[in-house]
Structure 1
Amino acid sequence: MVPRDTPGRPDKFDDDDYPAYTMGRAAEMIGATPAFLRALGEARLVTPLRSEGGHRRYSRYQLRIAQRARELVDQGTPVEAACRIIILEDQLEEALRINEELRKDDRRDPPAT
């Protein structure tokens, strides 16, 4: 048995991007149908990896995104609009993160006088 903390070997249980969940299990976990997950794939919000047999496999990260989409759809938002909202939320979060990093850099390196 290989220890969990073996260098160079990521622990799949801790990896948010590891495609651990089948479509059926993923749908069950977020309270949706497999058709809903396929619709998210068609909208290119969530692109599951494929097993060697061609079955869709979802990661925990993808399930969080799908869960957010399901929440929006449950509130009456069309699937396509929900996908766009999530993409824009992600872009805004990234822009805010970059802004904060730039502000920290500015505070560390005051302008020369």
Structure 2
Amino acid sequence: MTRQSPARPTDKFDDDDYPAYTMGRAAEMIGTTPAFLRAVGEARLIVPLRSEGGHRRYSRYQLRIAARARELVDQGTPVEAACRIVILEDQLEEALRVNEELRRSAAGSGQAPGA
């Protein structure tokens, strides 16, 4: 039986999904207000985790998504529309990634894609 080594506390620094940032700090990092973060949360673009005390906590990944929505809002796009655009961009990126994986897999097996 092998024993797994315990996770190092510093491993969380490398984890893009670790909810390390409070609402105030998150808003400061992306140059916006806590109200903006609440709005993108209400639009279900990002869902922050909650601390034991009920405070919102954001990950670096969530902040990158919120920052993209902020760029669109700064260009005049309404918050709800910006959130929908970011969601669609993310879905397109994932579909393209899966499509490329399928193409590589088909090429490696000698099959034509879709065959």
1:8–1:99 Cα change, 3 Å: farther
TM-superposed deviation, 1:91: 0.5
Displaced runs of 4 or more, over 4 A: none
Any idea what SS the aligned residue of 2:71 has?
Answer: helix
1:104–1:41 Cα change, 3 Å: same
Write the distance in 2 (CA, Å) between the matches of 1:49 and 1:56: 6
Any idea what SS the aligned residue of 2:40 has?
Answer: helix
List gaps (5 residues or longer) in structure 1: 1-5
The Cα offsets for residues 7-65 of structure 1, whole Å up to 9 and x where unpaired, read as 45260000000000000000000000000000001000010000000000000000000
User: 1:90: which partner in 2?
Assistant: 90
Write the distance in 2 (CA, Å) between the matches of 1:40 and 1:9: 32
Show the 5 A alignment for 1:10-21: 11-21=11-21
Show the 5 A alignment for 1:50-69: 50-69=50-69
Show the 5 A alignment for 1:91-106: 91-106=91-106
TM-superposed deviation, 1:106: 1.1
User: 1:9: which partner in 2?
Assistant: 7
User: 1:38: which partner in 2?
Assistant: 38
User: 1:3: which partner in 2?
Assistant: none
Write the distance in 2 (CA, Å) between the matches of 1:51 and 1:24: 14
Write the distance in 1 (CA, Å) between the matches of 2:105 and 2:98: 11
The Cα offsets for residues 62-90 of structure 1, whole Å up to 9 and x where unpaired, read as 00001000000000000000000000000
Write the distance in 1 (CA, Å) between the matches of 2:91 and 2:5: 33
TM-score by length of 1: 0.90
Any idea what SS the aligned residue of 1:16 has?
Answer: coil
RMSD: 1.3
Identical positions, percent: 81
List gaps (5 residues or longer) in structure 2: none
Write the distance in 1 (CA, Å) between the matches of 2:44 and 2:81: 12
Q: Which has the higher helix share?
A: 2
The aligned length equals 106
